[in-house]
Chains A and B, each alone.
Chain A
Amino acid sequence: MSKRAKKFWLIWDRIGILCILLTVMIVFGILDSKIVSPTQLLTALNRAAVSGIAAAGMMFAICAGGFDLSVGSILSLTSCIIAVQLTDGKSTLFAIVMAFLAGGVCGIINGLLITKLKIQTFVATLATQLAFAGVTLVYCNKAIQLTSKVNTQLKFFSTGKLFGILPMPIVLLVIAYVITYLVYNFTSFGTKVRAIGSNESAARTTGIKVDVTLILVFVVTGVSAAIAGVLNTAQVSIGDPSLGEGFELDAITAVVLGGTALSGGKGNVFGTLVGAILVVFVKMGLNILGAGEAYQKLAVAIVLLFALTINGIKLIMEKGDK
């Protein structure tokens, strides 16, 4: 591979997904300028906050070489917990703390199954997905409307404006990604996660406490799903046991679009964020254009395949290089 090509791929790894997003934006902008109006872009960011925050957690799991398919169920569970606690008259803070605790506990369960019972992450979290969904229904079997009386404080997370201008979901999204970026790049935890994803047995040999780190990874995923749950609940003002169905695939799609390798070891924080926005944006644009659900699905599939095909071309070129 020539130096130029190498440079191209290096740049592509960093901002390729951003290019795709910009292209999509331009195309939509030509079709209907409303879609790229500032307010609508803000709406897109607002909306991307939910899947984006969960994707940030998911990125750690994928970077460590695993998956977490149970985030959807965790999101439902936290949504129900918040609704039940709030309608019981508990304070918003208490409800949110409970939700985070639940997310953390679910993460610990996942982590223990994976490290102690050595179940592969895919099937372990597939089973817990079922189990957590069941637990949610046992705990709370119907949607609970959060009336404005109990919801004022919670609503702050979805409509509140920090310092009067910054919409909260976007603030949360940015904070989440700044933290993720710092944790991923500048803490021993982030380094260890990359090390485990890169070569697990070597990580063990080096003396990293792999099990502890992995459990932590799933706690991070669980808690980030819980944050997403709080935000989503605030947005729709409803505690619903089926709120998170299919949510895990959204999060994974965002991470993969962002350029994080499924084989582990290599994450892309910025890309994940852009990936989450891209998925939301494509769906939103088509919604505004009035294209049906089928076309939205097709569009997301095509974007996904396109991004990964380019990645595939890179792999093929690199292989030819060897």
Chain B
Amino acid sequence: MEKKRRFHIEYGDHGILYALIIFWIVLIITNENFRGLAFFQTILTKASLNAICGIGMTFAVISGAFDLSIASQVALNGVVLTLILPKIGIFPSIIVILLLGVLMGTINGLLISKLRIPSFIATLAMQMAYRAVAQLINSSPVVVDNSGFKKMATYKIAGIIPTAFLICIILGIIGTIILRKMKLGRDILAIGNSQEAAIISGINVAKTEIMIYLIVGLFTAASSVMIVSYLGSSNYGMQSGLEFTVISAVVLGGTALIGGKGSIFNTIVAAIFLISIRSAMDSFGVDSYWQRVVEGVILIIAFSITEIRNIINTVLVKRKARKQLSVQKVSK
């Protein structure tokens, strides 16, 4: 029991997991498209790309901020990756990209912690800047001509598990370890709870903030590698709007935008949930205009579910109190 409680409390509520499982079961029953393994493999692969970004973003959101520049970071990473891949090979390129991610994250972090620019604005400005740099480096699309690299994201290990998903899970575990088992993670959680209290507890807030954006940059770089492999190409205009999809997934996973708590596991599940919704809408032939409406409405319902629950709870508590009171009166 203690073990179970611990999992539950430390790793968050699992409402989104139940919702996903139920949703999948219903899909499998109602739509024959969903009865093959391939369909889920596609969903998991695509969701993993967002989820890997989401792992980094979870750290930012837990600290009470977010990073709007990730889509442009992906674009810059992607453009550089396709440029260097033919020259220096797969593994060195990946390392270069990860370093580039760290660099961009550090720049964001410095702007936010040292120059005291609010994260929203700093990352908004860097969103424009990174995309512009990508455009200056190469304004035309590039197709990757390296079949090994292209297979990386979609290859199915043992014919079942897509590599991207496996990497996402591994990175998710690493992220969870950082968040739960390392001082850095505790500091980030603490800052999200109360910056004042964090300062009083002797946490170096500036350093931790830089680390947060560095982590975001690192995970975004990892995701960029997978995205370029998945698309087999790069383009300075790629993945625009990704930041909002990722933030939606993070918030849907129960990480409060005001910070202080969050769960990487739930972020991954939420990313899968969002992609499942889209795929399901396609499979049911939902009109593409209505798809946007439905997605918006689903997000609203999901975001407000805590409050709806609170309202129901208060009503229940009040009703109970009233009942007790009337019972007392009768007994008198």
A residues whose Cβ falls under 8 Å from a Cβ of B:
113, 117-120, 122-124, 126-135, 137-138, 141, 249, 252-253, 256, 262-263, 292-298, 300-302, 304-305, 308-309, 311-313, 315-316
Q: Which of A262, A263, A313 has its CB near the most chain B CB atoms (within 10 A)?
A: A262
Q: Write out the residue numbers on chain B whose beta carbons fall within 8 Å of the beta carbon of A316.
A: 116
Cα separation A253 to B121 with both chains bound (whole Å):
8
B binding-site residues for A, Cβ under 8 Å:
111, 115-118, 120-122, 124-126, 128-129, 131-133, 135-136, 139, 244, 247-248, 251, 257-258, 287-297, 299-300, 303-304, 306-308
| Contact yes or no, A129 B296, CB < 8 A | yes
Complex Cα distance, B290 from A296, in Å, reads 35
Query: How far apart are A174's CB and chain B's nearest CB, in angstroms?
Result: 27
A-B contact pairs, 30 of them (CB 8 A): A113-B304, A117-B300, A117-B307, A117-B308, A119-B300, A119-B304, A120-B258, A122-B247, A122-B257, A123-B257, A126-B299, A130-B299, A134-B290, A134-B294, A138-B293, A294-B131, A294-B136, A296-B132, A298-B128, A298-B129, A301-B129, A301-B132, A302-B129, A304-B124, A304-B128, A305-B122, A305-B125, A308-B125, A309-B117, A311-B116
Which residues of B sit under 8 angstroms from A120, Cβ to Cβ?
Answer: 257-258, 303
Q: How far is the CA of A127 from the CA of B306 in the complex (A)?
A: 16
**Cα-based distance from A141 to B126 in the complex (angstroms):** 33
Chain A residue with Cβ nearest B68: A249
Contacts A130-B292, A262-B121 known; list 18 others, CB within 8 Å.
A117-B304, A123-B247, A123-B299, A130-B293, A131-B296, A134-B290, A141-B289, A252-B124, A256-B121, A262-B120, A263-B118, A294-B136, A297-B131, A298-B133, A302-B129, A311-B117, A312-B117, A315-B116
* CB of A262 to closest CB in B, whole Å: 5
Measured between alpha carbons, how far is A178 from B326 in the docked complex, in Å? 58
Interface core residue of B121, B136, B290 (most chain A CB under 10 Å): B121
By DSSP majority rule, is chain A's interface helix, strand, loop, or mixed?
helix
5 closest residue pairs by CB, A with B: A131-B296, A134-B292, A134-B293, A312-B116, A117-B304
Q: Please report the number of residue pairs spanning A and B whose Cβ atoms sit closer than 8 angstroms.
A: 131
A128 near B122 (CB under 8 angstroms)?
Answer: no
| Docked-complex contact B111 and A119, CB < 8 angstroms | no
Tell me how far the C-beta of A256 lies from the nearest C-beta in chain B, rounded to whole angstroms. 5
The reply to whether B251 and A123 contact each other, CB–CB distance below 8 Å, is yes
Contacts of A262 in B (CB 8 A): 118, 120-121
List, in ascending order, chain B residues with CB within 8 A of A298's CB: 128-129, 132-133
**CB-nearest residue of chain B relative to A132?**
B296
With contacts A301-B125, A316-B116 taken as known, whether A294 is within 8 angstroms of B289 at the C-beta atoms is no
Residues in B with CB closer than 8 Å to A292 are: 135
Q: How far is the CA of A316 from the CA of B288 in the complex (A)?
A: 50
Q: Which of B124, B247, B248, B297 contacts A253 (CB 8 A)?
A: B124
Closest A residue, CB atoms, query B308: A117
Q: Please, how many angstroms separate the alpha-carbon atoms of A305 and B247 in the complex?
A: 23
B117-A305 in contact (CB<8A): yes
- Whether A138 contacts B300 in the complex (CB less than 8 A), given A298-B128, A305-B111, A309-B115, comes out as no
Q: How far is the CB of A84 from chain B (nearest CB, A)?
A: 15
Which residues in B have their C-beta under 8 angstroms from that of A252?
A: 124
Residues of B within 8 A of A256 (CB): 121
Q: How far is the CA of A138 from the CA of B286 in the complex (A)?
A: 12
Name the CB-closest residue of B to A295: B132
B175 → chain A closest CB, angstroms: 22
B290 in contact with A138 (CB, 8 Å): yes
Bound Cα distance from A292 to B236, whole angstroms: 14
Give the nearest-CB partner of B137 in chain A: A294
Contact of B292 among A117, A123, A131, A313 (CB under 8 A): A131
Complex CA gap A294/B140 in Å reads: 13
Q: Determine the distance from Cα of A237 to Cα of B117 in the docked complex, in whole angstroms.
A: 39
Q: How far is the CB of A123 from chain B (nearest CB, A)?
A: 5
Q: How far is the CA of A280 from the CA of B297 in the complex (A)?
A: 34
